[in-house]
């Protein structure tokens, strides 16, 4: 007899409920929306909701709903009013002085609130399904390494000149080696000791002629420079992409020296290139502590020799006009822990010129405050008499000010920050300029209509494939074919549910993986049903044939699926984005089909025929 233990029935029921529940949000589709967020990833201010509602009332637009999701405000509107709503909100925020807010067009899921409250969300759609712009950028790592060698050569020359060690004139950088030619033999030992102490990351040796020193970067330092160049390029590009007002941008590393930038919904490639090539820098200045910043803010007049700025929290601050050094002189910045106090700190490394000026400044300003001013030039949209006006603006804000605790030059640190603040400040210090030239090696624009065509064709492919399999199984295996079709339907539901639960991004290759899974999912049932037929042909009793069919076909099914799963894992490990999408859906489909085809169908078959001892034949 083929009985079902109670736990098997409950497990199958739980899986069915789980699959339906998490796949359900994908049936509700998406509605047009306007997304409001802050460019600095800071949380929204408490009055933004009221400002947005006032803008909508002024534009006579009735929103379908407002919701706060992951620090972003989503305003659901109709397709006809989406653009008007975005313009009205931009204008209102601009008039309120909220210039760091990004207003983007988006599509918001129309999933009922009771589903979202329980964590059920629809799958995200990739660029090939939503439309937008795709850039593949290549970072010139050799150029970054060359620039770093040049900087080392300049720093070494400045150090030796400062210590009054005479060197020969000429080019210091020769291929991959920094060559230092000294004039006097008695200076060699002192110069070697000085350079080894100051530049510990370099390998410095004395040449055979006795007057020449050679410095080179070891493999570890070369890797560090390459990694820093990639990390800084990623940070800079992410900051710049925010200016495009893209709802869900993707900026990620691909391989050793390439970066993928995907901007869903953006169709203007010229505008995207303009933003990606924008510039930003930093300035270090002393704080004018003897002057009243609040008085200068009220009167609008700054004392002679000072300039009035604001910190990121809105506090007025007066800085001296003289610039100590700029972000162009920063060669490295990282967050860590101060060994003396154990508090978070940001460690900054300057080049030779910046280090010299910083040393001279700190020697005479111990226990005084120094500020970091972030300066950016970008195109800003404003509304004058109801008309949109674009112009370049210079944005200046103080991101940090701290007390100088000691004399420093090339390397220094800033303490008194929280861990997250230190990490963000170090990233910001590195994000002012790209560390190496970046070239666009691939550019694609996917129109919104083409994206919808891709969705429609993908859906059609799944439906046609599913129906053909269903017809074949019913015709060839009759009632058992219906059982296999039920399992196939559950398999599709489970794939969608798992993808939704993982918040995976569905792309065209992912749809291809689902279509392939539909065809492969019934393979296990075909093996099982053919084995049952063989047992029945050998006059095996019905109950024994069912048991033998499932048990003896299991090893073949497992071998076939495991080998396919291994191939999918290899594709995911070594493939790029589209290939990974295909591998993910294929892997999930293999695992779910194993469950539905083996476990699920057996529970149903046992329920239908397991208790019928006198059954002479099976409808198979």
Q: Tell me the domain boundaries of the chain.
A: 6-24+449-609, 31-109, 132-277, 279-423
Determine the pLDDT at residue 287. 92
Determine the pLDDT at residue 113. 77
For residue 516, what is the enclosing H or E element? Answer: helix 508-521
Q: How many CB atoms lie within 10 A of CB 102?
A: 19
Tokens for 499, please give them. Answer: 């993808």
Query: ∠ CA 530-534-535 to the nearest 5 degrees?
Result: 120
Determine the pLDDT at residue 378. 56
Q: How many CB atoms lie within 10 A of CB 195?
A: 22
DSSP 327-343: GGGEEEEEEEE-TTT--
> Closest by alpha carbon to 488, among 470, 501, 506, 471?
470
Which DSSP symbol is given to 600?
I
Determine the pLDDT at residue 39. 60
Within 300-413, residue ranges assigned H as helices are: 352-363
- Alpha carbon distance 538, 332 (integer Å): 78
DSSP 157-177: HHHHHHTT--B--S--EETTE
- Alpha carbon distance 218, 202 (integer Å): 7
Single pTM value for the model: 0.58
Radius of gyration over every alpha carbon of the chain, rounded to an integer in angstroms: 33
Determine the pLDDT at residue 318. 92
Determine the pLDDT at residue 332. 72
> Closest by alpha carbon to 281, among 188, 375, 364, 403?
375
Determine the pLDDT at residue 448. 56
- Given the structure tokens 């993707």, which residue do they identify? 250
Q: In CATH, which of 3.90.950.20, 1.20.1640.10, 3.40.50.300, 3.30.430.20 is domain 6-24+449-609?
A: 1.20.1640.10
Q: Which residues contact 217 (CB under 8 A, 6 or more apart)?
A: 145, 148, 149, 152, 176, 201, 202, 203, 225
- Given the structure tokens 């894992």, which residue do they identify? 569
Task: Provide the residue count of the chain.
Answer: 620
Determine the pLDDT at residue 32. 80
From the centroid of its chain, how far is CA 106? Answer: 18
Superfamily of domain 31-109: ACT domain (3.30.70.260)
HSE-CB at 117 with a 13 A cutoff on CA atoms is 3
Give per-residue burial for 10-46: e unless 16+ CB within 10 Å, then b. eebeebeeebebbbbbbeeeebbbbbbbbebeeebee
Asked whether 321 and 288 are in contact (CB, 8 A), the reply is no
For residue 296, what is the enclosing H or E element? Answer: helix 293-299
- Alpha carbon distance 484, 486 (integer Å): 5
For residue 193, what is the enclosing H or E element? Answer: helix 188-198
Q: How many CB atoms lie within 10 A of CB 413?
A: 18
**SS3 state at 246:** coil
- State which fold the 279-423 domain adopts: Gyrase A; domain 2 (3.30.1360)
- Alpha carbon distance 320, 370 (integer Å): 10
HSE-CB at 544 with a 13 A cutoff on CA atoms is 9
HSE-CB at 487 with a 13 A cutoff on CA atoms is 32
Determine the pLDDT at residue 535. 82
Phi, psi of 392 (to 5 degrees): -80, 135
Tokens for 452, please give them. Answer: 């919808």
> Closest by alpha carbon to 179, among 152, 137, 214?
214
Query: ∠ CA 78-44-50 to the nearest 5 degrees?
Result: 55
- Alpha carbon distance 583, 589 (integer Å): 10
- Alpha carbon distance 435, 272 (integer Å): 20
Per residue in 301-358, pLDDT (tens digit) is 888 778 899 887 888 999 988 888 876 677 777 777 777 767 777 788 887 878 888 8
Q: How many CB atoms lie within 10 A of CB 57?
A: 12
- Alpha carbon distance 571, 254 (integer Å): 15
Q: Which residues of the chain have pLDDT under 70?
A: 1, 39-42, 70, 99-100, 169-171, 239-240, 242-248, 265-282, 327-328, 341, 376-394, 414-435, 446-452, 576-577, 612-616
């Amino acid at each position: 007899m083929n009985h079902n233990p109670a736990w098997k029935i409950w497990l199958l029921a739980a899986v069915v409920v789980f699959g339906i529940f998490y796949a359900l949000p994908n049936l509700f589709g998406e509605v047009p929306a306007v997304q409001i967020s802050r460019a600095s990833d800071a949380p929204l201010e408490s009055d933004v909701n009221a400002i947005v509602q006032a803008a909508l009332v002024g534009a006579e637009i009735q929103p379908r709903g407002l919701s706060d999701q992951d620090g972003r405000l989503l305003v659901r509107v109709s397709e006809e009013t989406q653009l008007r709503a975005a313009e009205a909100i931009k204008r209102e925020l601009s008039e309120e002085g909220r210039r760091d807010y990004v207003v983007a067009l988006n599509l918001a899921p129309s999933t009922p609130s009771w589903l979202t409250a329980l964590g059920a969300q629809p799958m995200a759609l990739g660029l090939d399904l939503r439309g937008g712009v795709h850039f593949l950028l290549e970072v010139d790592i050799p150029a970054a390494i060359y620039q770093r060698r040049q900087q080392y050569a300049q720093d070494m020359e400045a150090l030796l000149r400062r210590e009054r060690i005479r060197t020969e004139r000429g080019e210091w950088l020769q291929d991959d080696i920094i060559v230092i030619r000294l004039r006097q033999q008695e200076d060699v030992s002192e110069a070697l000791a000085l350079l080894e102490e100051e530049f510990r990351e370099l390998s410095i040796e004395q040449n055979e002629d006795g007057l020449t020193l050679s410095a080179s970067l070891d493999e570890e330092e070369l890797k560090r420079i390459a990694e820093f160049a990639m990390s800084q390029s990623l940070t800079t590009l992410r900051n710049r992409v925010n200016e495009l007002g893209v709802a869900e941008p993707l900026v990620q590393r691909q391989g050793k020296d390439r970066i993928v930038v995907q901007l869903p919904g953006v169709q203007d490639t010229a505008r995207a290139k303009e933003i990606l090539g924008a510039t930003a820098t930093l300035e270090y200045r002393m704080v004018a502590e003897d002057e009243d910043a609040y008085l200068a803010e009220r009167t609008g007049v700054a004392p002679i020799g000072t300039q009035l700025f604001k910190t990121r929290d809105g506090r007025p601050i007066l800085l001296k006009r003289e610039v100590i050094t700029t972000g162009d002189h920063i060669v490295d910045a990282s967050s860590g822990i101060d060994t003396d106090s154990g508090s978070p700190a940001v460690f900054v490394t300057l080049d030779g010129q910046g280090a010299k000026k910083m040393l001279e400044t700190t020697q005479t300003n111990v226990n005084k405050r120094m500020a970091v001013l972030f300066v950016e030039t970008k195109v800003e949209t404003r509304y004058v008499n109801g008309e949109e006006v674009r112009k370049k603006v210079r944005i200046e804000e103080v991101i940090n000010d701290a007390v100088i605790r000691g004399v420093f030059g090339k390397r220094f640190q800033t303490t008194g920050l929280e861990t997250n603040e230190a990490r963000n400040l170090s990233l910001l210090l590195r994000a002012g300029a790209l560390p190496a030239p970046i070239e666009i090696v691939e550019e694609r624009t996917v129109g919104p209509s083409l994206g919808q065509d891709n969705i429609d064709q993908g859906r059609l492919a799944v439906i046609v494939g599913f129906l053909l399999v269903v017809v074949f199984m019913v015709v060839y295996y009759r009632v058992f074919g219906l059982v296999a079709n039920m399992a196939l339907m559950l398999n599709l539901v489970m794939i969608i549910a798992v993808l939704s639960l993982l918040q995976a991004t569905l792309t065209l290759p992912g749809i291809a993986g689902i279509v392939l899974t539909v065809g492969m999912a019934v393979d296990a049932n075909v093996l099982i049903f053919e084995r049952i037929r063989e047992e029945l042909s050998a006059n095996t009793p019905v109950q024994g044939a069912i048991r033998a069919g499932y048990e003896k076909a299991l090893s073949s099914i497992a071998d076939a699926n495991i080998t396919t799963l291994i191939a999918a894992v290899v594709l995911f490990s070594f493939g790029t984005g589209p290939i990974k999408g295909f591998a993910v859906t294929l892997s999930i489909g293999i695992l779910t089909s194993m469950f539905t085809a083996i476990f699920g169908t057996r529970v149903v078959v046992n329920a239908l025929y397991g208790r019928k001892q006198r059954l002479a034949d099976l409808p198979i």
